[in-house]
Amino acid sequence: MALFKTRRNSSGQESVAINISEKGGIRYLHLGSETVQSAMKIADPTELVLPYTRCMMAFMLFNDRPERVVVLGLGGASLPKFMYRHLPDTIIENVELHPEVAAVARSVFMLPDDPTRLPIHIGCGGAYIANQKDHADIIMVDGFGSHKLADNLCSDEFYRNAREALTANGILMVNLWRSSPQFQMLVERIGAIFEQRLLVLPDYRHGNTIILAFKQDQHNPGKASLRELAETLEEHVGLPFPELLERMIEENPQSPTQLLI
């Protein structure tokens, strides 16, 4: 069921077609195609419905109390709403190119109106990051159009700027499609700029792979302490952190006792 659709914004700039559908108590956002960009459980708007969004929260295994998170690509605001609920001391900045997408996030996907903790900047995510330094503990890159990651969010220049925009122990989180022809090239590009301090975390169900890139060495954290933290986080926020951690351990360099990053 199409609840809302637009192709041109009021200023006449190139816009995006927005469609919203509902099925089985879930509301879906589609931008320019039938591909699902966001999903919201109508009875619980802050629940993370899509598996890849749960993977995007894996940064909490390395920083469970960030002061500032920047989200590039708002969509239906699944991640900002979840963090707004579970990280009450965190500022969650959002950068969205299309003002109509931000309007739909507020009006249809129940993003709270809180300019202090949930500011929305309308404009290019790459340009926003280029103007920041030591700004955010976490940067989340989830800026897909209808078919691929936005070009301005996957260049060498963007990743270099993102590293500069991170605080000293910051983490860049990038959502990629594993089937994309760009996938291996982008992993190598991120690895080169972040001096190979990265982890991959695949979502086995839908083909997304999340890249965690660290601004500085993590000193090879011990598996036992990570597993203990994962269990604590699962209890507190309701996400399957132990499962996510085991997936990380399986997919990335390790020793018998440590995750090597």
Mode of pairing for the β-strands spanning 91-96 and 68-72: parallel
Query: 142, 156, 203, 217: which one is catalytic?
Result: 142
The sheet carrying 18-23 orders its strands as 18-23, 26-31, 36-41
Residue 116's CB: how many other CB atoms inside 10 A?
Answer: 6
The amino acid at 218: Q
Residue 142 known to be catalytic: yes
DSSP string, the chain: ------SB-TT--B---EEEEEETTEEEEEESSSSEEEEEETTBTTS--SHHHHHHGGGGGT-SS-SEEEEE--TT-HHHHHHHHH-TT-EEEEEES-HHHHHHHHHTS-----TTTS-EEES-HHHHHHT-SS-EEEEEE--B-SSSB-GGGSSHHHHHHHHHHEEEEEEEEEEEETTSTTHHHHHHHHHHHTTT-EEEEE-TTTSEEEEEEESS-----BHHHHHHHHHHHHHHH---HHHHHHHHHHHS-B-SSBB--
- C-alpha Rg value of the chain to the nearest Å: 18
**Active-site positions?**
142
